[in-house]
Structure 1
Amino acid sequence: MTIRKILVPHDGMNDSTPALVAAAALARRFGAEVEVFHPRLDPAQTAAMMGVGTPAVGLELLITASEKEARLREDKARAAFDAFLPQAGDAVAARFVTRTGPPEALLASAGRLADLTILVGGSRDHESLLDSLVMATARPILLVPAGAGGDLAGPVVVAWTDALPAARALRAGLPFLAGTPVHVLHVGSARDTANLPEVGRYLGLHGVAATTEVLDPGTGSAAAALIARAQALGAGLLISGAYGHSRLRELVLGGTTRELIQSCPLPLLVAH
């Protein structure tokens, strides 16, 4: 897989600077275009949803207020893009795109035509958006913590289970594995290697020399074991499949994906 288009959603409210910094670094690395996408709220639709049962005069006031809010958010998103351009440099092709309509539907449509979408961690809005996009786009999502560096420097850790989400994440992560130490980790018992030797051989066919390791989580969770080992290895990126169980089950009972999204202190690349 080659990365030629990177999507950075910007809602005009949350700070997307860490995602933009990462996008610029990765665009230079892969020769990719960066698209900053702002889903513009439809004032009439927003007012209609807020003003059910409201008299006509009140509805007009709601539409006016919604239009003002939509313009304000678009202006903030465009200002962030304008500030991003000199930081990205002339070598990075970038464009600002805005569309009007339901944000999640617009971003899902845009994400399907991107090779990578980058979001900022630590925000419930972005966590919800990641949940939506990872399922709706069939494309990898990079979650960048607010304090992380944009270059993703350091070894790469791949969380492996012998299941479809992990296999898709591994393939999506191949561009990130070139020229850096790679460690493939499986959380389980010593008897359960989850086909790790074949994972190492597969990566070798792609020119990637990787070490493989089985982690015993002890009394902790799989996510905690992965994060601890990744930090011990000085990793700059963790790659993982997303939602091997259903999203509802993980939301109610918890799960590795949910814990990684909420707790991982380093950049996290996920795919489903």
Structure 2
Amino acid sequence: MSLILVPVADRPECARALNSAFDLGRRLGATILGCHMRPHRVQAVKRGSARALALYEKIAAENAYVLSRRAKATPTALWSERVGSADTLMGIVGPVADLIVVSRPAKTDGAADAFMMSALVSTGRPVLILPQRSRKRIGKRVCIAWDQSVAASIAVTPGIPILQQADEVTIVTCGPEDKPGPKATLLARYLTSWGIESRRVRTRGHDIEKELLGEYRKAGSDLLIGGAYSRSRWRERVFGGTTEFLIRKARIPVLLRHV
């Protein structure tokens, strides 16, 4: 994992997301790209851009990162500013990042929510979504939500560098593994090939969201990895679903990837 993208605004939850991103970047040897995205070029918004840069510079320095004008072979902090819609901007900068880190928006109809959803569905990259109030260090005790889907397997792969540094990895399956996809035992074997030991837990599958969150807390986890929108996006948003639960209600750090 070489480049971590973080959308930056002058907000407390963004500061917490930056701290987590820099901490993760330092552990993984990754460059952090802070990007201030705004819809307009008006002067008032430019002042917000200056505050966002000041916040980014402060947190970068606190985490021993040096701000640079161009990428280097060694980990550094980069800064970018772009103007445009969420879908357009995320479609430009997101696909060329290894990981995108965002804070969970307080509202579901604002610009922050638009950027989060665009990161999930328009980039093809893994997205780390952090709650409004999040601890700085994550990834020491990781829970994998495994449902035999392609979406889940694609989410696990970019999480390998994090899983390799974890103290404990728990694979949680909810209900019977009766789908035409790899069972948890095959996932465990795959992780072992990367030098990652894991334990497996199976729940009854009667209430997937409740059971998944229960096992997450029981394991003392600080990060959950899973696939995003294994059903069609509009169906999950209308009828609910595990992805919507993790994004909107779980209030835990989640690493998701949409296919």
Question: 2:50 is matched with which residue: 64, 75, 78?
Answer: 75
Structure 2 residue 202 is the aligned partner of structure 1 residue 214: yes
Structure 2 residue 2 is the aligned partner of structure 1 residue 19: no
Change (3 A) 1:90 1:166: closer
Larger Rg computed on CA atoms: 1
> After superposition, what is the alpha-carbon deviation per residue over 1:189-210, rounded to whole angstroms, capped at 9, x for unaligned?
3777961111111111111111
Unaligned runs of 5+ in 1: 44-66
Following superposition of structure 1 onto structure 2, how do residues 41-190 of structure 1 map, counting pairs within 5 Å?
Answer: 41-43=39-41, 67-90=42-65, 93-123=76-106, 124=108, 125=110, 126-179=112-165, 180-189=167-176
Counterpart-to-counterpart distance in 2, 1:90 and 1:264: 31
Native 8 Å contact 2:153 2:227 kept in 1: yes
Corresponding position of 1:51: none
Corresponding position of 1:50: none
TM-score calculated relative to the size of structure 1: 0.83
Corresponding position of 1:224: 210
Q: Secondary structure at the match of 1:258?
A: helix
Native 8 Å contact 2:152 2:227 kept in 1: yes
Structure 2 residue 190 is the aligned partner of structure 1 residue 202: yes
Counterpart-to-counterpart distance in 1, 2:88 and 2:117: 13
Change (3 A) 1:127 1:223: farther
Amino acid at match of 1:29: R
Change (3 A) 1:168 1:230: same
Counterpart-to-counterpart distance in 2, 1:115 and 1:29: 15
Counterpart-to-counterpart distance in 1, 2:105 and 2:204: 28
Counterpart-to-counterpart distance in 2, 1:111 and 1:198: 31
Structure 1 residue 70, shift from structure 2 partner? 2.1
When the two structures are aligned, how many residues end up with a matched partner? 245
Native 8 Å contact 1:25 1:150 kept in 2: yes
Counterpart-to-counterpart distance in 2, 1:122 and 1:213: 31
Q: Secondary structure at the match of 1:173?
A: helix
Amino acid at match of 1:197: T
TM-score calculated relative to the size of structure 2: 0.87
Counterpart-to-counterpart distance in 1, 2:24 and 2:44: 32
Percent of aligned pairs with the same amino acid: 27
Q: Secondary structure at the match of 2:50?
A: helix
Structure 2 residue 242 is the aligned partner of structure 1 residue 256: yes
Corresponding position of 1:29: 27
Structure 1 residue 271, shift from structure 2 partner? 0.5
Amino acid at match of 2:89: L
Structure 1 residue 240, shift from structure 2 partner? 0.7
